[in-house]
């Protein structure tokens, strides 16, 4: 199921078109009264719009690594759609842009109002917290606004190495134009992609408009269509590393590791954590220090450097050289639990040319020392002959956040 992985990462997602498929009638049948209690299966036809997420935006088609493949959906009512009747839950899967439910669990709507909830992932992560598609991730009993699912994070560094290996994508802010021999603004769709490990799991919860559906045949029908807006429950850390020209080795980045400083638990394992399927609130379990490890492809990533002349691997020296090098650098990301106090409590270690360089992560914003849900904190890291430094931090929605200042590698 390799192609179904890395559907995570994730800013906000738009899931539209929960459709109730009605049975067609011929013209001479139009006068026959509709049975308001006829049960009709819930159908889904999503479009997902994500900003800088691990899952591509737009209509979800194909089986690529960045295409959402499954969602868990609940339609809960008092009589018709209940857990006891096994008629309130289903997993919908996507194939070539078509969403269907081929499982044994089905949702059939009557004229009774049913409240819709949805979340991602639809399956329990594996033993190391990696994305998996074998065992359904379900709530217990009937669904409600207070229902929760277990939430895990993927540390990597254990299990299958390919699960925690990131392959770079063309998500730099600038790209090299070989025709004009110049760096230009990246206007391609890839700029919005998150380069994350296949094992990452982008937990998402849905808000719906309207909040209820029915079969469209009762008094005051709610309609057969609901729009679900998917929201990210985790935070995202992204790193772009460049060489300011004073470091004179090859500059090949092969690994990024995140660790706690001084025995704290800002980086925590998902030890009893849960997420509400409505509202996305994370309830923390017992804090336990975690270490996140990501390898960078098989051969690593060669850092963009500052040189006398611009090329496909270098920007020209000058007053804007560092900013240009940062803009030309690709980003590598990992999903983490949100945290309330992070300044200098977590360190990032970058393995470059088989040497480890570490730097403490600074306060992401002047007004905030938090890693919030649904925000992407982009740390710009400068490598020099003196070491590493955080150059800048940017926050946006996924939300992307670029951290102020360079991280110095010393």
What pLDDT was estimated at residue 65? 52
Residue 300 half-sphere exposure toward CB, CA atoms < 13 A: 16
The phi, psi pair for 264, rounded to 5°, reads -80, 180
**Measured distance CA(330)–CA(356) in Å, rounded:** 20
pLDDT at 56: 45
CATH 3.40.50.300 assigned to 235-408: no
Q: Check: CB of residue 294 under 8 Å from CB of residue 301.
A: no
From residue 19, give the alpha-carbon distance in Å to each of 33, 88, 94, 108, 216: 22, 15, 15, 12, 11
Question: What global pTM score does this model have?
Answer: 0.86
pLDDT given for residue 222 in this prediction: 82
Tell me the C-alpha to C-alpha distance, in Å, between residue 15 and each of 118, 207, 313: 10, 9, 39
CB burial class (10 A; 0-12, 13-18, 19+) of residue 55? buried
Tell me the C-alpha distance between 169 and 153, whole Å: 23
Report how far residue 256's alpha carbon sits from residue 355's, in angstroms, rounded to the nearest whole number.
Answer: 12
Q: Using alpha carbons, list the distances in angstroms from residue 352 to 106, 163, 290, 393.
A: 51, 21, 22, 21
pLDDT 10s digit of each residue in the chain, 410 long? 444 454 444 333 333 333 333 333 333 333 334 566 778 876 655 544 443 335 444 444 555 555 667 889 999 999 999 999 999 999 988 777 666 787 889 999 999 999 999 999 999 999 999 999 999 999 999 999 999 999 999 999 999 999 999 999 999 999 999 999 999 999 998 888 889 999 999 999 988 877 888 988 877 888 777 777 778 899 999 999 999 999 999 999 999 999 999 889 999 988 899 999 999 999 988 889 999 999 999 899 999 999 999 999 999 999 999 999 999 999 999 999 999 999 999 999 999 999 999 999 998 888 889 999 989 999 999 999 989 998 888 887 764 555 555 444 43
Q: For CATH 2.60.40.2630, list the domain ranges present in the chain.
A: 235-408
């Amino acid at each position: 199921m390799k192609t179904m992985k890395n559907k995570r990462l994730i800013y906000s997602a738009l899931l539209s078109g929960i459709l109730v498929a009605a049975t067609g009638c011929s013209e001479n049948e139009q006068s026959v009264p509709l049975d308001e209690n006829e049960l009709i299966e819930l159908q889904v036809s999503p479009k997902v719009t994500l900003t800088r997420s691990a899952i591509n935006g737009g209509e979800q088609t194909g089986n690529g690594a960045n295409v959402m493949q499954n969602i868990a959906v609940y339609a809960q009512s008092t009589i018709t759609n209940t857990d006891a009747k096994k008629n309130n839950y289903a997993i919908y899967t996507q194939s070539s842009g078509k969403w269907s439910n081929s499982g044994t669990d089905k949702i059939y709507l009557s004229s009774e109002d049913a409240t819709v909830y949805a979340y991602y992932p639809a399956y329990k992560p594996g033993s190391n917290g990696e994305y998996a598609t074998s065992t359904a991730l379900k709530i217990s009993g009937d669904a409600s606004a207070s229902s929760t699912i277990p939430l895990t994070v993927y540390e990597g560094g254990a299990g299958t190495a390919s699960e925690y290996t990131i392959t770079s994508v063309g998500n730099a802010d600038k790209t090299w134009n070989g025709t004009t021999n110049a760096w230009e603004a990246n206007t391609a769709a890839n700029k919005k992609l998150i380069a994350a490990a296949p094992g990452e799991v982008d937990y998402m919860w849905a808000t719906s408009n309207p909040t209820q559906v029915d079969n469209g045949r009762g008094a005051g029908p709610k309609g057969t269509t609901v729009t679900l807006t998917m929201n990210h429950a985790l935070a995202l850390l992204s790193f772009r590393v460049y060489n300011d020209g004073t470091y004179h080795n090859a500059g090949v980045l092969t690994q990024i590791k995140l660790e706690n400083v001084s025995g704290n638990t800002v980086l925590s394992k998902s030890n009893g954590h849960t997420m509400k399927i409505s509202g996305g609130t994370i309830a923390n379990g017992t804090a336990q220090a975690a270490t996140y490890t990501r390898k960078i492809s098989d051969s690593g990533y060669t850092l963009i450097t500052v040189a006398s002349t611009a090329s496909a691997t270098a920007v020209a020296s000058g007053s804007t050289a560092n900013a240009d090098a940062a803009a030309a650098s690709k980003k590598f990301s990992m999903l983490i639990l949100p945290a309330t106090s992070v300044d200098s409590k977590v360190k990032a270690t970058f393995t470059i040319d088989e040497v480890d360089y570490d730097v403490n992560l600074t306060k992401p914003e002047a007004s905030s020392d938090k890693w919030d849900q649904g925000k992407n904190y982009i740390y710009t890291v400068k490598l020099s002959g003196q070491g590493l430094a955080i150059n800048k931090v940017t926050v946006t929605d996924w939300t992307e956040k670029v951290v102020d200042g360079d991280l110095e590698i010393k």
